[in-house]
Amino acid sequence: MSSSPDVSIAVHDLRKVYQVPERDSGLRAAVTSLFNRKSRAVEAVQSISFDIQPGEIVGFLGPNGAGKTTTLKMLSGLLHPTTGTADVLGYTPWDRDRAYLGQMALIMGNRNQLTWDIPVADSFELNKAIFRIRASDYRTRVDELVELLDIGDLIRKPVRNLSLGERMKCEIAGSLLHQPRVLFLDEPTIGLDVAMQRRIRSFISEYNRRTGASILLTSHYMADVEALCQRVIVIHHGSLLYDGDLAELVRRFSPNKTIIVELEEGAPAPDDRIAAIIDRAEVIEQSAVGLTIRVPKAQTAAATSRLLAHLPVSDLTVEDPPIEEVIEDVFNIDVDAAPSKDERATMMATGATCPVDHGQFARDEAS
């Protein structure tokens, strides 16, 4: 299959099933398993489909065990799928064509790719030879990456002497020496402090701006996703739950709004009056100077009006809930209860509300 020039990554019905051996504990079960092995099929990825455009940064979200890393490993050529197809830059990843491997990079935050006992610069030289980078290009790229990531003092040290944050910056630099056109980033900021996370995010954004690389990013830090991704793909139990705009995800899957109220100086605390003022209000935080409450989205306007009418308010702010809460709500959706594609079409035609985006619903709805 050959991808469209408008698509860097095209995935269609990609599926991966593992056969996992099982047996009871004990010597008898161990001996029995030598002659009568049992296993069960575990569907890690269930027929997912999506496209990613050139230069697009897409967040790939899901809880642990959702199938994110398995998908990235298939797209980078480390795993063969059970069924389905994928086209990345015009190549089938698991064919492991040398031309393809020279245009993509898989960076895993919890995996070490640099050689442990030699200086970082020597590992860079090894990558130069592997990817057949010309000497002039190599020097230019090293200088650029060293400046962007501020690793000038690190590349002469053995990898084992680096802190986690220092090693992660060097790992990223080494993976980008061949200037890949597609990046698969699996938890690139895991375990890093806030300042280092921010620096890595800034670098990824700048690399995308300079090279136009397509990036598929997994992260449990929602700050990474909010800073880098306008579009997100949500996967759960191997199934695609949502594919669309991050802001739309918040709008669609958040049933509540948060209202932050600041009271006038010297005003009495509202105490138990909130329940009487606003029906179905949930008080999240309360003090002598104000309170924070959560109300159903449909009741936001009425709630703010009643608060202003019954309390001495000096300031009032209405906010969407934190993205972490929204994502948690999405993860809690019952995948098996999701409507089928035909059911979604009927619901859209009748104006009914669809509780979950399954497959490419967000894209179908937009078209």
CATH number at residue 167: 3.40.50.300
**Same domain (yes/no): 99, 242:** yes
* Terminal CA-CA length for the chain: 24
Q: Of 248, 283, 304, which one is at a domain's C-terminal end?
A: 248
Is 147 inside any structural domain? yes
**Same domain (yes/no): 94, 59:** yes
Is 279 inside any structural domain? yes
Beta strands in 168-322 (DSSP E): 182-186, 214-218, 231-236, 239-245, 256-263, 282-287, 290-296, 313-319
Q: Are 278 and 303 in contact (CB under 8 A)?
A: yes
- The residue segments making up the domain with residue 235 are 9-16+51-248
Residue (of 115, 117, 121, 114) closest to 156 by Cα position = 121
- What CATH number corresponds to the domain at position 293? 3.30.70.1150
**Token pair in block for residue 35:** 């002659």
The model's pTM? 0.79
**Token pair in block for residue 166:** 């220092």
Q: Bridge partners of 282?
A: 294
DSSP-H helix ranges across 107-253? 120-130, 135-149, 164-175, 194-211, 222-228, 246-253
**Same domain (yes/no): 134, 271:** no
**Same domain (yes/no): 187, 220:** yes
DSSP H or E segment with residue 38: strand 38-52
**Same domain (yes/no): 290, 161:** no
**Same domain (yes/no): 182, 309:** no
Is 46 inside any structural domain? no
Is 21 inside any structural domain? no
Q: Of 230, 248, 266, which one is at a domain's C-terminal end?
A: 248
pLDDT tens sequence for the chain (367 residues): 455 568 999 999 999 999 988 888 898 888 888 888 888 999 999 999 999 999 999 999 998 889 999 999 999 999 999 999 999 999 999 999 999 999 999 999 878 889 999 999 999 999 999 999 999 999 999 999 999 898 999 999 999 999 988 999 999 999 999 999 999 999 998 888 888 889 899 999 999 999 999 999 999 888 999 999 999 999 998 999 999 999 888 888 888 888 999 988 877 776 666 767 777 778 888 887 888 888 888 888 988 998 898 888 999 999 888 788 888 878 776 655 444 444 433 433 433 333 444 333 333 433 3
Q: Are 15 and 46 in contact (CB under 8 A)?
A: yes
- Structurally, the chain folds into a number of domains equal to 2
Q: Of 248, 272, 292, which one is at a domain's C-terminal end?
A: 248
Q: Are 264 and 313 in contact (CB under 8 A)?
A: yes
Gap between the Cα atoms of 71 and 85, Å rounded: 12
Is 349 inside any structural domain? no
Q: Which of the 8 DSSP states describes residue 269?
A: P
Is 348 inside any structural domain? no
Gap between the Cα atoms of 229 and 217, Å rounded: 9
**Same domain (yes/no): 225, 268:** no
**Same domain (yes/no): 265, 121:** no
Is 341 inside any structural domain? no
**Same domain (yes/no): 78, 205:** yes
Burial of 144 from C-beta contacts in 10 A (0-12 / 13-18 / 19+): middle
**Same domain (yes/no): 299, 242:** no
**Same domain (yes/no): 206, 101:** yes
Gap between the Cα atoms of 188 and 88, Å rounded: 21
**Same domain (yes/no): 295, 190:** no
